[in-house]
A and B are shown apart, each in its own frame.
Chain A
Amino acid sequence: MNIQPKWEALGNSVRGVSHIASNKPNQDAIQIDATSSIALVAVSDGHGSQKYFRSERGSAIAVKVAQSFLQQCVSSLEKATVKDMSFMTTVLGKKLCQRWVDEVNTDIEQHPFSDLEKETLEYYGIALEEGFVVYGATLLAALVTNEYALFFQLGDGDIVFVSETGVVDRVFSAEDSLITNETHSLSEPEAWRYGRVSLRLWESEVPSLIMLSTDGYSNSFSSDEGFEQVGSDMISLIKDKGVAYVKENLKGWLKEASKIGSGDDVTVGILSRTK
């Protein structure tokens, strides 16, 4: 089947009301790109606690790595290789996590730890050569080509795709072991083991919308159903009012979510199919 869908990318990230109150920065990050034949959305959530004192930099690096590494890597792979999930989970996941560590280590070289930061490392028992740990962040990425969509998730957050009729499907199920603000992280030992990879071939229906969000968004809804309703509502809004309308209003919706809901930073990235 030769569908060759076209995508428009949009997204936004807002600082959580609790972070505003405590004078902390937005520790989420987002990267969107639908300018080439390989569209990409990546979001990341820096952990934000005292131990992870550079996590806003960690999340920013994560989404940039996702874009550069995934686009470059996937464009060079044969389709048969991409379909090999065992290979993708281990080799791609491993390389992606290592690339993040490498980029973080470069950042540390360019911005060495201050004496105060070194004291914090010592307090948490983190060796200087393992300073990348304090950049801890999650990573969710969707990479879409003419033939398939490749999803990667490490840590909490949500990736959903929505059919033309508004049926919402989750790419990965929630990890039951992750409750009470616990998450897997790019900075943990052998992080790649916790990365999840999924491939959707465009052999039948292509979704109308793919949405990635940090956990601050889904935690703002009273129920899972309420969160998933975002997907079908987005489809209706785009049909009725256009993508530009969603782009204009998204930031306000996310601010409202943080204010009424989780209080956390909230980030949403969307790929909307235009063809």
Chain B
Amino acid sequence: MEKNNSFRPGGDMASRPLHFIYIADCSGSMGMDGKIQAVNEAIRESIPHIKEAANDNPQAEVLIRAITFSSEARWHIGEPTPVEDFTWKDISADGWTSMGAALSLVAQQLKMPPMSNRALPPVLVLISDGQPTDDFEQGLQELFAQPWGVKAVRLAIPIGEDHNMEVLRRFINNPEIQPIFAKNAEQLKAQIKFFSTSVLKSVASSPSMQQGDKGSNVIMPDNALILSQQNTTSVGDVW
């Protein structure tokens, strides 16, 4: 017989934290051809979709933050913000491309603590149009020195003609996940929406896996739609 009693043993309960971190390039080149405006619009427009995805997955408490990097890296939104309270503050472009410093900032926040071992894999979304101008290796090394840095779902969106695909591949460090080039604002929006909803849902419902299993325990959703959109872009739309 099962009863519904007001008292239950134990302390406070909560869904498992799912940290979602945007890492956005704000170097001077992002100011050209409307790229930075496209990033602002794409993230802002993704918010309702993230909220919907979070509502569909109540076992995950989605917490969003953002780092920007140009001549230096800094937390644009430093407080892990519940998705229902999250608003996007516009970013602007100026300076160099301190991608390594940005990864170092992420690494500091993926230490335990402040992370807990009950968290779901964090999702890191790196958006960049250029080459790192600082010590990228150092930042990457610091990120991968953290267990949560290794276990994070790392995604990247290269934009613009001068992006460095190899650097982004090394950030992802998973042959099953490739950076998908966003050729224009519409593709950027589609990708950010895809990462913010379908990928987030997969992470929120990721089952257990045996230690040592190859690949991620997060089953990546099919990105065929994103790829098909990429292939139908007209030349005039390209950044």
Contacts and interface: CB of A to CB of B under 8 A. Distances in A.
Contacts of B3: 248-249, 252
A52 B212 CA distance: 14
Contact of A182 (B2, B16, B205, B210): B210
A219 interface: yes
A182 B118 contact: no
A179 B13 contact: no
A135 to B, nearest CB: 11
A249 B2 CA distance: 6
B34 interface: no
A18 B15 CA distance: 12
Contact of B11 (A16, A22, A183, A222): A222
B145 to A, nearest CB: 14
Nearest to A12: B2
A219 B207 contact: no
Interface in B194-234: 205-213, 217, 219
Contact of B16 (A49, A188, A219): A219
B58 interface: yes
A107 B98 CA distance: 56
Most chain A CB atoms below 10 A, which of B10, B13, B119: B10
A49 B14 contact: no
A221 B117 CA distance: 12
Contact of A177 (B15, B58, B121, B211): B211
Given A174-B117, A249-B5, A184 B10 contact: no
Contact of A221 (B11, B121, B206): B11
A176 B115 CA distance: 12
B235 interface: no
Most chain B CB atoms below 10 A, which of A136, A181, A221: A181
Interface string A235-275: 00100000000001101110111011111100000000000
A230 B8 CA distance: 9
B147 A264 contact: no
**Which of under 10, 10 to 19, 20 to 34, or 35 or more describes the interface residues of B?**
35 or more
Contacts of A183: 208-211
Interface string A46-57: 011111100000
A156 B117 CA distance: 12
A180 interface: yes
Interface in B35-72: 57-60
B17 to A, nearest CB: 10
Contacts of B121: 180-181
Interface in A175-195: 176-185, 187-188
Given A49-B217, A252-B3, A252-B5, A221 B12 contact: yes
B181 interface: no
Interface in B119-140: 119-121
A248 B1 contact: yes
Contacts of B13: 220-222, 226, 256-257, 260-261
A233 B8 CA distance: 8
Contacts of A35: none
B148 A262 contact: no
B118 A219 contact: yes
B9 interface: yes
A185 B210 contact: yes
Interface in B163-212: 205-212
A114 interface: no
Interface of B: 1-5, 8-16, 57-60, 116-121, 147-148, 151, 205-213, 217, 219
26 contacts: A17-B58, A45-B208, A51-B213, A156-B208, A177-B147, A178-B117, A179-B119, A181-B120, A181-B121, A183-B208, A184-B211, A185-B210, A188-B210, A215-B208, A221-B13, A222-B12, A226-B13, A229-B10, A229-B11, A249-B2, A252-B8, A261-B14, A261-B16, A263-B15, A263-B57, A264-B59
Interface of A: 16-18, 22, 45, 47-52, 136, 156, 174, 176-185, 187-188, 215, 218-223, 225-227, 229-230, 233-234, 237, 248-249, 251-253, 255-257, 259-264
